[in-house]
Every structure is written in C-alpha cells, then in structure tokens.
Structure 1
Amino acid sequence: MDLLNARPRKKKTPPDVLPSATLSEFDGVRYLHLGDTPWVQGAMRIRKPQTLELDYVQRMMAWLLLKPTAAWAQGHVVQLGLGAAALTRFSHSVLRWRSTAVELNPQVVAACRQWFHLPPNDERLNVVVADARAWVEDTLNWDSADVLQVDLYDHDAAGPVLDDEDFYRACHAVLTEGGVMAVNLFGRSAKFMKSARRIEAVFGVGQVWKISPTAEGNAIVLAGKGVDWPERDELQRRAEAVRERFQLPAPPWVRLMRVLPTPRAVVAVDDAEELMT
C-alpha cells in the first residue's frame, strides 16, 4: 500500500465486514482503493501493465540484490496481500517464477482479475483467498518460498494488520534456507523501529536490512534466512544487472540500504548527536 496521505479514519468498518474494492484513474494510471477511501492500495499504468508503477513496489524487489544473479532464473515467490497485483504480475510474467498470492478479500481478487490484468491460476500462478496468518502458520507451507513479500494494510491504513513476533516467526518458517522476506512498513512512524526489531528478534542480528523511506513514507525492510550480506561493490553489480534485465531503478537502492543497527549502535549515535548540540 502507498502510504501517501494515509491516516487512520475516525469511522471504521466492522472487523467482520470486508470493504469493497473500488477504482480510480488519473493520467493513464489505474488505482485500487478499499471502500470509499482515497488511499491507494496499488496502481497499474494501463498501457504498461507489467511495469511496477509505485516507488515502494519497485523497492520491494530489492531482495534481488541479496541473491546471486544465477539464482534469479527460477524460484517460488509468495505475496501476502495482493493489492493491485503488481508484484504478482511481475513475478509471474517478468521474472517467470512460480508465484503464490494470499489475499483475504475475494473482492480484491475479482477486481484484479477484471481490471488489473491478473492472469488466471495456472501451473505457475496460484492466487489463494485466505487469511495471511493462517496461511503462514500452516506447516504445509513451511520451507516452501524462496521469497516472501509482505504488504498487509487494511482500508484504514493505520499500520500493518499483522506485525507481531509470532507472525514473523511463521514467515521465517515459510522461507527456504537463503530465502528473503520483504516487508512494507511506515518509514516515518515511531512504530517503524519496533516493527524492525520484532523482525530482527526472529531472523537474527545482521539478517535485517532497511531501505530509506520513499517520498510517500514507505520503508522496505528485508530479512534473510541465513543470507550472507554482499559487499557494496557486489551489491552495485547486482543492481546494474537488475536495471538492465528488469528495467527497475535498482542502482540508487544500494546507497539507501543499511543493515539494521544494533540497539547499542543506536544509543551511541543518539549520544553523539546530543553532544554535538
């Protein structure tokens, strides 16, 4: 979900009522909304449906930088929260990976099939109407995904609807060894570091990386399951390969990516800044 102007609404939809999927179009781009909110849940450029339109959605693909280029040839990617199906379309049609999408709201799936070029299920694509927590907690799905992409916001956009250690522990179990999880979080919220620390508590120190927020405020967190952090030069080489092969603006991501600092390092930086003021 794009976090531009996203704020909690005073009037909330009852938890047992799923909001309808609605559309808008502007300047050649089609947007998905939930209910009567103006907040963007996803977008597609109508004449280029396979491209990734939103900055944060492009950055969700930064997991490519944590895998050797030889590993880009095939794999299984799981998307939690379908949105406008941008990442699922990209994984299925551009990467040509086996792709699974888990979406709670059947109206979103129907809208994506009708208006956002989401293909029907086939041998490489499986769109499942299910609760994301239940899906990752199902042991049948453990050790099945090379990449897990998590973008779980409701129509109120107050924060991720699943953001606790038990959920991230199940996400870790879903990944294969060497797998990577990408999560869309509020980058300019006090909750961001709390969320990142929950992920770190599960994945381990040195296995969590953050990307600086987009102009709209979305910050992507990457978490690896036994991933070796590449040297900066190797990251840059992979970024150039991503740009050439997939037409994604990956080279600038490298300077925006940092290993999540240890709590001690954070305190040291805060103390240093206090001494300088």
Structure 2
Amino acid sequence: MTDAPASATDVDLELLHDLLFGLRLECADSGSRVPDRYKTAQDVPVMLDAPFGPAGPMVLRFGDVLSLLFGWSTIQSAMRLSKPDHLLFDYTRMMMGFRLFSSDPTRIEMIGLGGGSLAKACYRDLPNTDITVIEIDPQVISLREQFHIPPDDHRFRVICTDGVDYVATAPERPDVLLIDGFDNKGLPAALSEQAFYDSCRARLGSHGLLVANMCDNARAFPTLVRRIAASFDGRAIAIPAEQRGNRVVFACADPAFPPTFDAVRHAAQDLPLRDPIDYSIKLRRIMPALRRWQALHVSPANSL
C-alpha cells in the first residue's frame, strides 16, 4: 500500500464511494455502515496499490475496508481491516451455508482464492477439515498476507494451477467443492461449460456437494443452472444471496439431496451461532428453494 491517500487526480473518489458502499457491505456493528466522520467521499481515506498489469488485481484501502479489484468495475473481494475474519459479502455467508448439507466435511476444495474470505472461514470454523484452494493467478496468491490468509500447513494449502485441469485430473475426492472463480470479465467460460460441471460431478462422486457462486445475470444464469442440474441428475437448488448480484447453487447427485425440511432444520440447530454466519438466516433463505424443488420433483403422495 502507498503511505498517503491518493490524490483526486489519481482516483475518482465519487466513483469509489458508489462502488464500495453501493455493495451493501454488512458491518458487524449496528449503525457503522458509513461512519459520521466521512461526511463526503472526499473525506474517506483511500490508498491504492499500483495495478500489477493491464488485467491484474489492485488492492484498495477505503476507510476500514481493504478490497481486491480487477479494474475499477469489478470488486473481487473485500475485508474489514479491524476484523479480518468477518465475511463482508452476503454471498460468501450463503456459500458457507453448505454446512446445512455437509456440516463437518473431511475434505474441501475451492476453485478461486481471491481475498481468501471463504478459505479463512473454513480454516477457522472447520479445524478438522483438509482444505485445498486452487488459484490460477499467481499475482492474487502473492496478496495472501495482506488479506490475512493463513500460510500453508498440514491441513491447508493454496495451489497455483488451472482449476479446470485440477478438477479433471487430481486424484483426491472432496466432500465439498466450492466454485468462486471470477476474473476481470466475470465468470470464465471454462468454468461455465457443461464439460466442467460433468468433471465436478465425476470428482465429487455420488455424495459430494457442489457449491457455485454465480452472477445473477438474467440471460446467462438460467443456462448455467440447467447445466449444473444436468450434471447432477437434476438435483440442484439456487439461492439468492443478495437483493441482486449473486446466487449460490448447491448440487449433489445423492438421491437424498435436496434433504427434507426437517433435516435442514436439525442441521441448523446443531451448528454454532457464530458471527458472522447466522445459519438460521441461511435456513430461511434455503427453505423456499427446497419447496420449489419438491413441488417440481416430488409426487404429492411422497411430499412432506
């Protein structure tokens, strides 16, 4: 980071204000969304690292928020400097909702490191779980210390390689596979194709859970959900993570997926009530999707 705020000639502060505070970041302290001392965008302390390259990541400090950006139009990740483990974005908390379906997995794999929000949450909350994170961009990995991502150890590692190739060729079989791989153009085509989702199914087997973060694009999103469902025998549900912006798809080929209402309720009751993930809120988001899926796939004689 630079030692002084960028000048008005270097950074469009009004644009930064709109970008960051327009994302509905959730702060832990009630009423602290925009501190009173920040009366105007010009009063917000902003620091910017130089871009690593034309399409490389930038690190931006905006008040108490450290953000990873791919150009000015794409905020990839964000972290509160005063509370590095807090999950700012709702979609990351929704992705952690996988614990309602697989509460204590033995092995997790992630495609996409970014600012490490999900990696840190899994490392903290699942001390007995082996975690492998796949990131294709070495420049993103080089920022891991700035975003308080733990170093590699006996149960956590970050591997620099292509996620598509890794899913297709690596020997291990995870219990949960999280897909959150975006670049400066959005979701890469390679992570959107039927062949990739087929590889995910083959890697997960009949019981592993896929968790995929997707932009809520009215044109592309339905196609991607249909592809995931096709790979997982139709057993996929999509949950809105925000009022707009992201949806999280959960898919599993197990005939018991999606689970019953009661099974998910019991799972939520068994999980700890720990900030920043309130699993009871995730439960309320997931229930309507379960009802829709059952209405389409379960006969009245077998309905719950």
In structure 1, the partner of 2:60 is: 24
Shift of the alpha carbon at 1:101?
A: 0.5
Deviating 4+ runs (over 3 angstroms): 158-161, 240-243, 259-262
Q: 1:261 to 1:166 in 2, by over 3 A?
A: farther
Candidates 206, 216, 221, aligned match of 2:249 = 221
Shift of the alpha carbon at 1:217?
A: 1.4
Shift of the alpha carbon at 1:246?
A: 6.2
Unaligned stretches of 5+ residues in structure 2: 1-19, 24-52, 298-304
Q: 1:184 to 1:191 in 2, by over 3 A?
A: same
Q: What amino acid is the match of 2:67? A: Y
- Aligned 1:6-155 pairs, distance under 5 A: 19-34=55-70, 36-67=71-102, 69=103, 72=104, 74-96=105-127, 97-112=129-144, 114-141=145-172, 144-155=173-184
In structure 2, the partner of 1:211 is: 239
- Aligned 1:192-207 pairs, distance under 5 A: 192-205=221-234, 207=235
Q: What amino acid is the match of 1:50? A: D
Aligned partner of residue 143 in structure 2, secondary structure = helix
Q: What amino acid is the match of 1:136? A: V
Whether the aligned pair in 2 keeps the contact of 1:153 and 1:160 (CA below 8 Å) is no
Q: What amino acid is the match of 1:137? A: A
1 CA distance for matches of 2:198 and 2:117?
A: 26
- Is 2:214 the partner of 1:185? yes
Comparing both structures, which one devotes a greater share of its residues to strand? Answer: 1
> Deviation string for 1:65-99 (max 9, x for gaps)?
113x5xx1x51111101111111111122212211
Q: 1:163 to 1:18 in 2, by over 3 A?
A: farther
- Aligned 1:237-248 pairs, distance under 5 A: 237-242=266-271, 244-245=273-274, 247-248=276-277
Shift of the alpha carbon at 1:37?
A: 2.4
Identity of aligned residues (%): 26
> Deviation string for 1:167-211 (max 9, x for gaps)?
011111222542111101122422111100100111012x21110
Q: What amino acid is the match of 2:134? A: V
2 CA distance for matches of 1:158 and 1:174?
A: 21
CA RMSD of aligned residues (A): 2.7
1 CA distance for matches of 2:64 and 2:271?
A: 26
Q: What amino acid is the match of 1:62? A: G
Q: 1:58 to 1:103 in 2, by over 3 A?
A: same
Aligned partner of residue 67 in structure 2, secondary structure = strand
Q: What amino acid is the match of 2:137? A: N
TM-score under structure 2 length normalisation:
0.72
2 CA distance for matches of 1:239 and 1:155?
A: 36
2 CA distance for matches of 1:204 and 1:176?
A: 12
> Deviation string for 1:83-130 (max 9, x for gaps)?
111111111222122110100100000112x31011221111111100
Q: What amino acid is the match of 1:107? A: Q
Higher relative contact order (Cα pairs below 8 Å, separated by 6+ residues): 1
1 CA distance for matches of 2:141 and 2:74?
A: 18
In structure 2, the partner of 1:174 is: 203
Whether the aligned pair in 1 keeps the contact of 2:69 and 2:76 (CA below 8 Å) is yes
2 CA distance for matches of 1:98 and 1:260?
A: 33
Shift of the alpha carbon at 1:47?
A: 2.1
Aligned partner of residue 209 in structure 2, secondary structure = strand
1 CA distance for matches of 2:291 and 2:188?
A: 20
Q: 1:160 to 1:56 in 2, by over 3 A?
A: farther
2 CA distance for matches of 1:260 and 1:193?
A: 18
2 CA distance for matches of 1:246 and 1:173?
A: 34
Shift of the alpha carbon at 1:250?
A: 2.2
Shift of the alpha carbon at 1:154?
A: 1.1
Q: 1:139 to 1:125 in 2, by over 3 A?
A: closer
